[in-house]
Each structure stands twice: as structure tokens, then as C-alpha cells.
Amino acid sequence: MATTVVGQPLSRVDARRKVTGAATYSAEHRVGGLLYGVIVNGTVARATVSRISVDAALGHPGVLHVLTDFGSLRLAHPVDRIAFYGQPIAVVVAETLEAATHGASLVEATYERQDAVTDFDDPDAPSQTPADEPDYSRGDPAGALGSAQVKVDLELTSARENHNPIELPSTIARWQDGRLTLWDKSQWAQGAARTVAGALGIAVGDVRVHNEFLGGGFGSAIQAYDHVILAAFAAREVDRPVKVVLTRRQFFYGTGFRPASRHRIALGSTAAGRVNALVYEVRIENARYQSYTDGLTDLPQFLYGVPNTRTAYRVTPVDVHSPCSMRGPGVVLGNFALETAMDQLAHELAVDPVELRMRNEPTQDEVTQLPFSTRKLRECYETGARRFGWSRRRAEPGSRTDGDLLIGMGMATASYHNNRRDSSARARIHADGTAEVFAASADMGPGTTTSVMQVAADALGLPASAVTFRLGDSSYPTAPLHAAATTMASVGSAAHTTCNALKAEFIRRAVADTDSPLHGANPADVHVRDGYLSAADGGARDSYRDILRRAGLPSLDITGNWGPGDADSRISSYGYGAVFAEVSVDPLLGLVRVRRIFAAYDVGRVISPKLARSQAIGGMVGGIGMALLEGTVTDHRDGRIVNVSLADYLVPVNADVPDLDAAFVNTEDPQADPIGVKGLGEITIVGVAPAIGNAEFNATGKRLTDLPIRPEALL
Amino acid sequence: MHPFAFSRVSTVTAALNAGARYGRYIAGGTTLVDLMRETVERPAHVVDINGLPYKDITVTRQGLHVGSLVRMSELAAHPEVRATYPLLSQALELGASAQLRNMASIGGNIMQRPRCPYFRDVHSACNRRDPGSGCDARHGDNRMQAILGTSTHCVATHPSDLAVALVALDAVIQVRGLDGTRSIPVQDFFLRPGDTLQDEHSLRPGEPITSLTVPAGAHTRRSGYLKVRDRQSYEFALASAAVALDIRGGVVRGARVAVGGVATVPWRLPKVEEALVGKRPGRRTWTDAAALAAEGAVPLSENAFKVRLVERTVRRQLMTIGGQ
């Protein structure tokens, strides 16, 4: 029995390059004649710029240009006025970063201010129903809630969050003969090429984007924001390559964010714990210039078998820049509301929280009325509860202590749609028997370079050491955005499909070639292992190398496509998980500390177990931040963001990250895609915050509904 | 960052001459460079004093003597400091991060400027940065701001943990000027934001800190630092307590208590100390004394929780140090 490369716990193929500094990130590329661009940000939320004085900046040695007229550009926001605090108003271009930075501080703008509202709780900020999120209803939710034997009705909030990857947004732009090359920290090279081409009014084919390495993204680098466009614009204006790297302060204004949210969720249940009514109303902040919605209502609508359900999604446009996807977009917050309410319901029913969820397992997707492709959620509950030690939990809040500390356990369900998109790949086998696979994907940290290679190696019948997956170049075959837990299922399936086709082409050549030992064999009987082709009856064999040598070819390649087609109209394919958390609470000081988290996931087939576990614990770290630490603070007097540094915007540090682990329920989802995977990147943050919050409730008996949970809530 | 000149000195005389002319010294640079990047600090000339000889740690029967250029990590790890002045080791190790502690000097630590986000944002009003411009923090995002020692001019907390410990232990700071040396009790070193609020300390221009001394006493061994914060490392305090107790014969003979994270300067609590001295150690004593910790507090819109938090932080640390 041949061992497969898929399923092996490989380390990242680029691990050594990353830890030794040999991996070249966007800002690190050496480009001859490079200039440095520094963006000047506006300091009002709503205004027109009446005057910009640039003389002092231009007078500073090393400063070459100050660009202030963006009128020719198509940006996501208005260019003729200020629509949010921090909007770019100028770019200073200089021979050194220091000169550009100082020059930028010398640019002075005069504004004609208008009244601005940046607080989406302001009564002067009306809410809207977004066009893509109409109200949803099934059954008779109001009636069922009214007549329910047990009711839970909660209001919850969450703070705005910024992604804060370690690598800051950075772009190098170089023009040559009217064609633009960008080295950009991007989760989507082809999307960036389109956006920049559109913004500058040039052909997409004239833009090439390189993004081989990313130092984290979490959604902040899906879109090509102003700095990317302005780098390209400045490089064109000054006719030299220009690099723009945002500062951490600028990051908070220069990319999107997870919008702050307000929720109301009501559950109605029978005394036996059958949830028969669910009402979920949610509202988020939005920019005025652009509508943004995400998956808030997804899980409240579909996760449990609730016959009577209503959801209502509202957005409140204010004078801020636009939110964007951040890990688990929307889903993570809708799930926070749902799973907090389920925990409260379990408490009021005196039913174990896991048992309550089991009792409300649906038999089909009640939103689409489609069968589930795979849904191993019961196995997740059982595996997770066993491995975590859930049976040691005491239902009565406040009944476990450790010295001065209260100890609590909580859990939450996680789920995330198995997103797949059309994807292409090119596979090539060289005369030396090694292979390369190409796709315009990216690897912001999950290890895509490694995991797609594993899929390709098995499809080609080659060992891992002989196969390289190349990504990070918009000129490679089409790949979807590296986000929304889409990449493995989509790019992986495209690699699988294409590599199988290439292998078939070699087999076809071998059996048709009179010089091949396999001449005349039935192609269906030919297998490839370690680059050798052999027929089922053994004996005679050929090889990729020999086939190429005989054909006189340096290599042979093929480009193939894969897409989900209409699968989502036939099946409901989601990833699932059960997240368990233990916390300590210091009741005197109000401190909630996570002690451990364990989660069991059904994410289909696990391609690369070591990297999958890393993904899982990374998502949990993000969830700890969301639950206890992260929150972007806006001063609504003028719209400035206050905590614009990693000292003031708190993400977990090592001391906050205790014993985290995950298990994967052994399964695959063959209906979803040919490699049987479901997305993993997003689901790992889902369920973490409510599991922590529910553990806090179990420790103290005090239901906290505002994220992040901070000491003042418990004092 | 504004352009600046940089020079390095290796003798005290050269440092004093340079300091008299330019004023700004740099040692570890962990505060100054950050602030220069944000253009909050705009020195025309920075004088590197790392070549000066203020690098010794001496422990004698009289007390502890620490050169101002000793690194935070070095002082924290010193075995005799750890054994005899645990409060100092703990306050140091609960501050900043390992990397910063390896760079930051003791003198620089107590010279830290406010962590207030408005102080660090040159597009906001801040009397510390720009005297007379006003204070955007007071009615702005003020969760982290002070409740004690504030004025209408400034509500920023003093960020140093070490300084809280030094105030509790009655440390003395030695400085050097062109006309000789002088000693300043640490209590008098830090200035509350009054009418001359640009003065955060009582150093004269060009005077480097050369060392600090901590007097020995029966209380120093039984001492420690508690720092309460949102995350468990690399964050400034919501509230902190430095406690040193002299307990003999079942009675509190001496008590030193100071708090951080809640006041504009490291904040000694003489009334809490008075309430402890002469009492028998125990939960009741600790609780009653700690109840006085926030006396005089003037909370802002988002930091009223600090009143209760600082009382409880003191109570917990009295229990930890004094025993329950």
C-alpha cells in the first residue's frame, strides 16, 4: 500500500526561508532607482480640502514630489472631499524613507469642515436594510416565541476590530514601457491587478502583481487599498519605482476592519429543550460611500433545526471608512450571539449545553432545504467533550474554585460555509522528473505552498520532495481570493484535477509509444508511483523522465480548471466544530484568563495535519483576542482612532495563550470537491469567543454580553 | 521623525557640556526613539550617554545603589536584589517586554513620558506636548487615564512600574550638574500636572541621572508588586500596587504602599500605611486599610472602575505580602 503525501504532518516547505529571513516579503524586494512614498492622512472626518501647502515639504532635502491631486484616480471612496478621518490627501515622494516621512509631517492642509457622525449608535445616524441582506423568515417566529415555554432574550455588542497582522501593508510599484509591476502584500494578486488597473484606467493585462510571501493577513489584504493605488500612481507620476509601506498608525485608517456590532437574539423553547423560535436582529457600522455586509445571519438561520425563525440585518452608514472581511467575517459574531443565547437557554432549562445542541440537530439545511453533504457535528461534540474533559464541568455557576479563583467551563458550536470557487492550475513535469504546479494563489500563513503541493504530489505519483507549488504571481492561472477558507478546496481541487490530467497525458503517451515498456497497456491499468509508471500486472515500467527523454521534450505541461459547478444547489456543505474552553476568573480583580481550549472539527479531509493544527490554534488565539482584548476605539468628537499601536490595541501575547489543541473528526466530503475538503481557515475562530464567555458564566453566574470582556464588567 | 544631530560621549564632563548645549540624552532609547518617530519629541541633538560609567549595582548594609545606565533586565535578575528587594525585581519584570527590558536603562525608565494616546498623536490637543493647547484625553477615550493627582491640564498616568516601587521604598535619585551633584528624594522627583505642567520631574536642563539609592530596612524583603492589566504581559497597568511590610511579633511595624496605573505620578498611600501600622496582620486589617486607597479620586467618564480596582489591587497585594 503506497503511502500518500496527503495526510503527512509536514512542516512548511518554506519554513527555513521564513525563519532565516531568506523569504522575501513585498517591501524587501530590491528594485533599482527606488523612491519612497509616504502618505499624508487627513485629520478630519468630513470636509473638503480648501488648501494644501506643500512648500515646506518640497524644501526638505531629498523630497522630490508631493502629489495632492488624486482627481484622475478611481478610488473606493470620494476623491473630491474627505469622507473619513485618515483619508489620504497627499503622497510625499523622496530619495529616502526618512526624508519622505519628515516631508509628510510638513504638509499642512486647511479644511472646510462639515458636521460628521462617526458613532453608529448616534440617533442622527439612520439604519438601512442592505440590498443583499433582505429580512428572512420561516414559520411563525413571533407566534412561536410568544407561546414558548422557556424564553431567552439577550442584547449583545462587539467592538470594532482591526486585523493587525505583523507585516504592514506594503507595495513597490515599477513601470516599464507602460506596464506596471507591483510587489504587494496582497491576499489576491489578480484582484489587486484588476483594482489598480481600474483605478488608473489601464488594461488589466498591463499589471502584474507579485505576492509570494505574506506576514499574516486575516482579511486586511484582500482588497487593494489606497496605498497600493497611490504607489502605482506616484511611480507613474515621478517616472521611477516607488515603495509605500504604511505605519501601524496608518494601518488603522488604510485598510478595513471588523465592524462594531449590536445584536438582539431571542430563543423560544419547549420545556424539553426543543428550540422552536429564533429571532435575530443585528446592526453593524458602515461607511457612507460603500455598503458592506457579511455572514452575520448565516448561522442563526441554519445551524439548528428551528422551525420558526426570523433574522433582520441592518447597517448604519456613518462618516468612517469601510469595514471589510476579518477572519470568520460576520459568522463569528452571529455565532457569538447564537451560542451565548444557547448557553443561557441551557442554563435556564437545566440541560447540559452539549445535550441541548444535540437535541436541536436538524435533519437538513432548513434555509435551502438541501441535504447536508457531510455533517459530523455529533462526532465533534462527542470527541471534543471527551478529549476536553467536559464531564468534569459542574452545571451550577461558581461551584469550582482554585484558591482565590473561580473556574468555569463553556462550549460553543462552530460552523462555516465550505466556500469553493472556480480555479485553475498549470502543472509541469520536467526532464529531471520533478514537477511544478502554478496558480495565482497566495499563502498568508496557513501553509498553502505546502498543502497544495501535497495534493499535487499524490495526483502526479511523485514524492513531496519532487514537487513545488508556485503561487504569488498574478500571471499564473486564475485563483480566487486567498480568503474565506476557499483556497484548499478550490486551488487544491484545481491542482488535483490538473495533475491528474497531466499524469493521464503521460500514460497516454506511454501506452501509445512503441518504445515504451508499457506500449499497448490499458491506460486505466497504469499507475504512477515515485515518477514510475507501471501496469497493474507489474513488471514493465516507464517513467516521466524516460517519456520526456524519448519525446525530446524539456518538460510537458498542462493547464486545467476546476469549479464547484452547481453543487451548492444540490448539497449544503459546511465545516463544523465544537469548541470547549476553561477559564479562571479572579472575582476580586475582575480578570478572566483562558486556561485551555480544545476543539474538534469536521472540516472534511485534512490534507496537512500539522498545518491544520496550526491553523486551528491560530484561530483560537484570534478568538481569545476577540473575547478578552481587542477593540478599536474611535474618538467620536472628531473621528480619530485612538489606540493606533500594538501597545494600545491589544492582541494576545504568549502569556495569554495557554494550552490550545484541536482534533479533526476523521471524514471527507467527496460531494463538495474532488479532494473531499471543507474550508478550515475561518471556522477556527468561530465559537471561541462564546465558548470563553460561556465559561466565564459558568465560573461566575454573571452573563456578559459585550465584547471584549474586560475587568470593569466584573468589578 | 525630524532631522537631528547625534553625538556620543564617553566622559561625564563631555556629557555635561553636551547636555548644557542640547539637553537630550539617550540611553536605551526605548521611549525617546518611539516618540521621535511620532514627532512628539523633536530634539535637535541627541547625546548618547551609554559610554558613561553609571553601570554598577552595589548592595550594602545601608541599601542598594544602582547606576542609571544599568539595564532593567540586569537589575531585575541581580541575585541580591531578587532576594532583598523582590519588589524591585517584580516591578521591573512586569514592565515592558523582554526585548525592551534588555535595552531600557533604569534612569530612562523613570523618565518615561506619558503613555496617553493623545500625547502621542500630534494632531490632538495635549498640554504635555504643547503647553496651553488643552487636553483631549479628559473628555475623550479616558479608560486608561488617571483618577488621582489629575488636573484640568492633564490626566495621564505615570507609566513606570519601577517608579512606583521606588516611591514605596523611599529611594533617592542622584543627579549631576555642571556645579556638582545633588540628591532628590524620589517623592519630590515626580511632579504632578500643575500650572507648569510641562515639567514632569525636577531635573534641571542638562542634568543626567547618575544613580539611585534604595535604603535598607526590615520591610524590603517582605515586599512585592502586583500589576493588574487586560492582557497578561506587555501592557501598562490598569492598577498596580507596591507593598513592603515589616511584620514582627505579630504586629505590622512598618508599611510602605504605593500604587500605579491610577495616578499622574507614582502614588504613595500614607493613609493606608497609617491604617496598617500597629495592627495585627489579617484579612480585616488589609481590607480596612485598602479601602482608603482611592481617597481623593476624581474618576472620568470611562475609568470609574479604577476606584474599586485600585482598592482591591491593594487589598490583594496586602494579603499576598502580609499573609491572610
Write the CATH number for B281. 3.30.390.50
Cα–Cα distances in Å, from A294 out to A130, A355, A595, B301, B308? Answer: 11, 30, 31, 33, 39
Q: Are residues A408 and A427 in the same domain?
A: no
Contact present, A341 and A154 (Cβ < 8 Å) = yes
Average pLDDT for B117-145: 96
A339 an active-site residue?
no
Distance (Å) from the alpha carbon of A51 to chain B's nearest alpha carbon: 17
Give the model's confidence band at B198: pLDDT under 50 very low, under 70 low, under 90 confident, else very high. Answer: low
B6 in contact with A at a CB cutoff of 8 Å?
no
**Structural domain of residue B291, as residue ranges?**
223-322
Reading the block at residue B170, the C-alpha cell is 523611599
- Dihedral sign for Cα B81, B83, B85, B87, please: positive
Consecutive H or E run containing B317: helix B305-322
- B-chain residues within 8 Å CB-CB of A652? 231
Sheet order of strands, A261-269 included: A136-138, A308-318, A275-287, A261-269, A150-158, A706-707
Query: With bands split at pLDDT 50, 70 and 90, how would you rate the model's confidence at B1?
Result: confident
Q: How many whole angstroms separate alpha carbon A269 and alpha carbon A341? A: 12
For the cut 80, the answer to whether the pLDDT of residue A283 exceeds it is yes
Spatial distance between the Cα atoms of A692 and A689, rounded to a whole number of angstroms: 5
Do A486 and A419 contact (CB within 8 A), yes or no?
yes
Cell 468612517 sits at which residue? A320
Higher pLDDT, B19 or A587: A587
Is the separation of the CB atoms in A215 and A169 below 8 Å? no
**CB pair distance less than 8 Å for A712 and B305:** yes
Nearest to A635 among B1, B140, B230 (CB): B140
> Could you tell me whether strands A706-707 and A150-158 are parallel, antiparallel, or unpaired per DSSP bridges?
parallel
Q: Which of B181, B185, B187, B190 is nearest to B208 (CA)?
A: B181
Of the residues A222, A245, A268, the one at which a domain ends: A245
> Over pLDDT 90: what percentage of chain A?
99
> Is A283 in the same domain as A235?
no
Which residue in chain A has the smallest CA separation from B302? A712
Q: In Å, how far from its chain's centre is CA A169?
A: 16
B124 contact residues in A (CB cutoff 8 A): 640
The verdict on A432 and A485 lying in the same domain is: yes
Query: Is pLDDT above 80 for A343?
Result: yes
Among A404, A642, A643, the strongest candidate for a mutation testing the B interface, having the largest count of B CBs within 10 A, is A642
Sequence-distant (6+) residues with CB within 8 A of A220 are A162, A163, A164, A165, A169, A251, A255, A256, A324, A326
| Cell numbers found for residue B115 | 503613555
Q: Residue B194's pLDDT is what?
A: 81
Q: Could you please report the per-residue DSSP string of A363-386?
A: SSBTTTTBPBS---HHHHHHHHHH
* Nearest residue of chain B to residue A710 (CA atoms): B230
* Number of Cβ atoms within 10 Å of the Cβ of A693: 28
CA–CA distance, A506 with A513 (Å, rounded to integer): 10
Q: Within 10 A of A537 (CB to CB), how many other CB atoms are there?
A: 8
| Residue B233 within any structural domain of the chain | yes
User: Are A593 and A641 in a shared domain?
Assistant: yes
Torsion of CA A157, A162, A164, A167, to 10 degrees: 150
Task: For B190, list phi and psi in degrees, rounded to 5.
Answer: -90, 130
- Find out whether B158 and B193 touch, Cβ atoms under 8 Å: no
Considering chain B, what percentage of its residues have pLDDT values greater than 90?
Answer: 93
The C-alpha atoms of residue A60 and residue B294 are separated, in whole angstroms, by 51
The answer to whether residue A148 sits within a structural domain is: no
B2 touches chain A (CB under 8 A): yes
Pairwise CA distance, residues A504 & A585, whole Å: 60
Catalytic pick among A161, A582, A682, A696: A682
Q: Is A276 strand, coil or helix? A: strand
Q: Of the candidates A328, A410, A352, which has an alpha carbon nearest to the alpha carbon of residue A679?
A: A328
Q: Is residue A252 part of a domain?
A: no
- Mean pLDDT over A359-363 rounds to 98
Is A643–B3 a contact, with Cβ atoms under 8 angstroms apart? no
Q: What's chain B's average pLDDT?
A: 96
Those residues with Cβ within 8 angstroms of residue B80's Cβ, 6 or more apart along the chain or in another chain: B59
How far CA B217 is from CA of B67, B223, B256, in Å, comes to 20, 11, 11
Task: Give the separation between CA A513 and CA A202, rounded to whole angstroms.
Answer: 48
Residue B126 β-bridge partners: B135
B177 contacts: CB under 8 Å, gap ≥ 6: B16, B204, B206, B207
Q: In terms of domains, do A556 and A621 share one?
A: no
Do A624 and A704 lie in a common domain?
yes
| Residue A569 to residues A234, A370, A494, A671, Cα–Cα distance (Å) | 46, 8, 21, 12
- Taking only the tens place, the pLDDT of each residue in B243-286 is 999 999 999 999 999 999 999 999 999 999 999 999 999 999 99
A549 shares its domain with A576: no
Taking the CA of residue A3 as centre, how many other CA atoms within 13 Å lie in the half-sphere pointing to its CB? 6
Q: Look up the domain containing A59 and give its range.
A: 32-115+169-245
Domain membership of residue B199 (yes or no) is: no
- Number of folded domains that form chain B: 1
B 127-156 residues with CB below 8 A of A? Answer: 136, 139-141
Of A98, A644, A650, the CB nearest to B235: A650
Indicate if the pLDDT at residue A2 is higher than 60. no
Residue A135 domain flag: no
B315 vs A: CB within 8 A: yes
Residue A208 CA: distances (Å) to CA of A428, A456, A472, A475: 22, 25, 10, 6
CA angle at A195 for the pair A127 and A197, rounded to the nearest 5°: 145
The confidence score (pLDDT) of residue A539 equals 79
Residue B271 lies in a domain: yes
A18 occurs within a structural domain: no
CA distances from A169 to A35, A46, A165, A220, A397 (A): 17, 25, 9, 9, 45
pLDDT in tens, A577-618: 999 999 999 999 999 999 999 999 999 999 999 999 999 999
Q: Does a cis peptide bond (omega within 30 degrees of 0) precede residue A708? A: yes
Domain limit, last residue, from A196, A223, A245: A245
pLDDT above 80 for B121: yes
Asked if B228's CB is within 8 angstroms of A589's CB, the reply is yes
Residue A237, pLDDT score: 98
CATH number of the domain at A594, please: 3.30.365.10
Per-residue model confidence (pLDDT) at position B197 = 65
| Predicted ipTM of the assembly | 0.97
In a domain, A253, yes or no: no
Question: Is residue A456, in this structure, part of any structural domain at all?
Answer: yes
Same domain, A281 and A378: yes
Task: Name the nearest CA neighbour of A580 among A558, A596, A601, A566.
Answer: A596
Report the residue of chain A nearest B309, measured CA to CA. Answer: A589
Residues A479, A618: Cα–Cα separation, whole Å: 24
Establish if B282 belongs to a structural domain. yes
Contact A576, A604 (CB under 8 A): no
**pLDDT score at A1:** 42
CB within 8 Å: A589 and B123: no
A710 domain-assigned:
yes
Rounded average pLDDT over B182-206: 88
Q: Which residues pair with B239 in a beta bridge?
A: B228
- CB neighbours of A113 closer than 8 A, spacing ≥ 6? A44, A46, A47
Residue B301 included in any domain? yes
Asked if A589 and B312 come within 8 Å (Cβ–Cβ), the reply is yes
Determine the Cα angle at A8 with ends A6 and A10, to 5°. Answer: 110
Whether residues A509 and A632 share a domain: the answer is no
Cβ contact B147:B267 at 8 Å: no
C-alpha cell at A482: 486567498
Same domain, A637 and A661: yes
Q: How far apart are CA A26 and CA A213, in angstroms?
A: 7
The average confidence (pLDDT) of chain A is: 97
Q: H-helix or E-strand containing A468?
A: strand A467-470
pLDDT at res. A272? 97
A vs B: CB pairs below 8 A: 82
Give the tens place of pLDDT for each residue, B73-90. 999 999 999 999 999 999
Over the stretch A630-688, which tens digit does the pLDDT of each residue have? 999 999 999 999 999 999 999 999 999 999 999 999 889 999 999 999 999 999 999 99
Task: Answer yes or no: is B285 within a domain.
Answer: yes
- Choosing from A223, A245, A267, the residue where a domain stops is A245
B61 in A contact zone (CB under 8 Å): no
| A648 contacts B231? CB cut-off 8 A | no
What is d(CA B310, CA B257) in angstroms, rounded to the nearest whole number? 12
Q: Could you say which of B231, B313, B316 has the minimum Cβ distance to residue A656?
A: B231
Confidence band, pLDDT 50/70/90 cuts, at residue B23:
confident
Domain count within chain A: 3
Give me the phi and psi of A184, to 5 degrees please: -135, 135
